[in-house]
Each structure stands twice: as structure tokens, then as C-alpha cells.
A = this chain, B = another copy of it.
Amino acid sequence: MKQETFDSALRSTWHQVSKMYNKEAGKFDSTMAMGFALLSIDTEGTPSTTLGPKMGMEPTSLSRLLNTMETRKLIYRSQNPSDGRSILIHLTAFGKEKREDSKAVVLHFNAEIEKRLNEKKIQHFFEVMQCIKEQALEFEHFTTPTKTNAL
């Protein structure tokens, strides 16, 4: 392959984008993860157990993030009425306000990109992304060693 590999383009572009989001969030002493969490919590409250997979975060990092957000009065917790063992995460009024800010940044950034592209390029971009995702799901280079049966 003469050009850059698909995965290195992905890595470096995602790196650049998250740097930008962290810079914008940093203007309010916030982080990209916090903005992303605000956008992942819906208005009726979201079970804490579904947030992790939604955000692709490990339970420990997620719980640390939610604690910070609770201290900053962006969210509060309540017991799930339909499942006593599970906790719902809700946005406070302040959290909802900040959620709108996060949404505005994301929409603005994506609109700026869209402006500079045509339909065909956009369509191909999403097609290639989908292809990479599917390939990553089924790809295997090293075969898993088969376990020899004990007698």
C-alpha cells in the first residue's frame, strides 16, 4: 500500500478530533468525556449500566467520571422504579444547559466539515467506515491455539 494505512488515518484523525474537543471543553474546565456523557444521558434518565457500553468506557473510569459530574452538579442519581437494583442517571437543570453547549459544539464542527465536502465523498466515507468496522469484527490473523483434549 503506497498510501497511509486505514487504521493509522483513523488513529491520527481521532486523536486530532479528541484534542480539539478537549480544548473546547477545557475552556470551561471540562473534558470531552464529560461532554460525551452529557450527550449520552437522555432526559428521562439513563440506567448507569447502559452508559458504559454506550460510551465504550470501563466501569471504573465511568464511575470516576460520574462522581466528578455529580460533584459539579451536572447529574444526580435515583433508584430505577422498574428495577430496584439499578440506578438511573439524570441531568440537573445545569447539566441540561451544558448538554446544549456540547451539542452545539458537535453540530457546529460536523457542519463545518460537511461544508467542505460533496455528497459522493461523504457517502463513500461512511461506506468505508462501515467496511472497516465489519472487517474489524470478523478479522483474525493469529488462529487461537486449539486446546488438546485431556484423556
Contact = CB atoms under 8 A, between A and B. Distances in A.
* Number of copies of chain A assembled together: 2
A141 interface: yes
Interface residues of A, number: 56
Contact of A125 (B1, B21, B28, B125): B125
B17 A106 contact: no
A56 B22 CA distance: 14
Question: Which 5 pairs across A and B sit closest by C-beta, in order of nearness?
Answer: A124-B124, A125-B128, A20-B136, A16-B136, A121-B124
Interface of A: 1, 3-7, 9-17, 19-21, 24, 27-28, 56, 104-114, 116-117, 120-122, 124-129, 131-133, 135-137, 139-142, 144-145
